[in-house]
Structure 1
Amino acid sequence: MKNLRNLLASTVILFTSLTVSAQTADEIINKYFENIGGKEKLSKINGFKMNLVSNYNGMEIPIEIFNDKTGKMYVKVNFQGKEITQLAFDGKTGWSTNFMTMKPEKLDSETTENMLSQIYDFPDPFYNYKDKGYKVEFLGKETKEGTECFKIKLTKTPITVAGKKEENVVFYYFDAENYVPIMTESEVKEGPSKGQMSTSTMGDYQEVDGMFFPFTMNQGGQEMTVKSISINPTVDAKAFEMKVE
């Protein structure tokens, strides 16, 4: 009987801790949405266009990024006065520009499959995350960049790496005062840095049409400053097409 009481007590404690953890994660996420403008405004966003500048070896390189709810996206780089489509996806086919030949090349099926899974990240990975099959977990507090943060583990749709399904996890660090992400961490799944953690930081949140977005970012040591953000812009469909000469 004593063992049974102990088992029941342990079960109650475990269930309670899981419930509190889930509620805490949802509270943080809901506060985040509230602080950046609200879920209602977020739900009306069909597409983003962002113009930014990347600092590369002392040079400022203009970059234009677009993505929308259908999965269409492109990344255009202006290098020495020439516009280059670094990456594009029309919702079905992905392609990139080979910087050696300067010719477009179709992405392999595995990369395309992974890009399709990223459609669910729009307009925000946490938006209706349960409907997407994503999971969140509150992991407590940590200090990052000298700032006390809430650490949340976001588990998304698995990705395919070398023909095998791999766990797709991103750790988010929310500023404990302002409830906005200031850093993310995720494991590198392939290449020379495989197994290491890739870190991205973001800050300087500014208002655009009633919504707040980070205007400074650093990804893999590459600093980027946002110059402008357009919400629901009109984009020519040809911008996503792979041009074969």
Structure 2
Amino acid sequence: MNKYIEAIGGKEKLETVTSYSFLAEAEMQGMKLNLEVKKTAKDQFMQDVKVSGNSMSKQVFNKDKGYMIMQGQRKDMGPDEIKKVKDESAPFPELNYINTDVTLEGIESVEGKKAYKLKISEEKTAFYDIETGLKLQETTVAEMGGQKITSTINYMDYREISEIQFPFIMAQSVGPQRFEFIVSEVKVNEGISDTDFE
């Protein structure tokens, strides 16, 4: 964990980040998917996935409450969902993971690179490159309609923005589907206000 934090910019630098946002685009079955994510250090998080310009799923979290909108249906988050989103809402969740029960489960190969496999929680596992320390992959298990579904995100093409390394390609696999989000813009400590989380 410390090696990863060091690799992307160092603890002191990361702690100066009060907010960051990014825009990314992917193509799936000929349709354009747009992803917008905003996070602040005040437990605020917003994620919006648009298909052909229309919002398909949106999550908004603000300090201790949140909601999701799926295909036009709004649903408030329950206590379990709030806890999960709160953990992830930090600009760099790894700064918080250090103080939790993260366990090292071994070394595995991810896209041809040796990586430490860390169990973050019952649902989440993350893989960090042994050589560079960078995060290569994250897998999350969620239950949908009584089935356990694993989604995987591979992080690639790290680039420096405001002295911090961000991945500019996020390849996401859910079941048989795989699509690559290409990041077009990252903003650090600018362009975010409290109204984004209402």
What whole-Å deviation, never above 9, does each CA across 1:83-121 have from its counterpart, x for those lacking one? 67722223343223342xx4x6232434xx422443244
Count of residue pairs the alignment pairs up: 193
Aligned residue in 2 for 1:127: 95
Tell me the CA shift for residue 51 of structure 1. 0.7
Aligned residue in 2 for 1:48: 20
What whole-Å deviation, never above 9, does each CA across 1:115-135 have from its counterpart, x for those lacking one? 24432442323214344xx11
Compute the RMSD of aligned alpha carbons.
2.5
Tell me the CA shift for residue 228 of structure 1. 1.2
Partner of residue 179 from structure 2, selected from 205, 222, 229: 222
What whole-Å deviation, never above 9, does each CA across 1:200-243 have from its counterpart, x for those lacking one? 211111111000011111222232111111112242433322xx
Rg comparison, structure with higher value: 1
How far apart are the structure 1 equivalents of 2:17 and 2:187? 10
How far apart are the structure 1 equivalents of 2:118 and 2:57? 34
TM-score by length of 2: 0.82
How far apart are the structure 2 equivalents of 1:198 and 1:120? 18
**Is residue 129 of structure 2 the alignment partner of residue 170 of structure 1?**
no
Q: Which has a greater percent of strand?
A: 2
- Residue 197 of structure 1 aligns with an amino acid whose one-letter code is T
How far apart are the structure 1 equivalents of 2:51 and 2:103? 41
Aligned residue in 2 for 1:114: 81
How far apart are the structure 1 equivalents of 2:85 and 2:50? 25
Q: 1:143-222 residue pairs with structure 2 within 5 A? A: 143-155=109-121, 168-194=122-148, 196-219=149-172, 220=174, 221-222=178-179
Q: Which has a greater percent of helix?
A: 1
Aligned residue in 2 for 1:17: none
How far apart are the structure 1 equivalents of 2:128 and 2:78? 34
Which stretch has the larger CA shift, 57-66 or 87-96? 87-96
How far apart are the structure 2 equivalents of 1:105 and 1:61? 21
Q: 1:11-30 residue pairs with structure 2 within 5 A? A: 29-30=1-2
The percent identity for this pair of structures is 25
How far apart are the structure 2 equivalents of 1:146 and 1:192? 34
How far apart are the structure 1 equivalents of 2:107 and 2:84? 30
What whole-Å deviation, never above 9, does each CA across 1:30-54 have from its counterpart, x for those lacking one? 2222211111111111111111112
Aligned residue in 1 for 2:188: 231
For structure 1, the 5+ residue unaligned runs are 1-28, 156-167
How far apart are the structure 1 equivalents of 2:96 and 2:52? 41
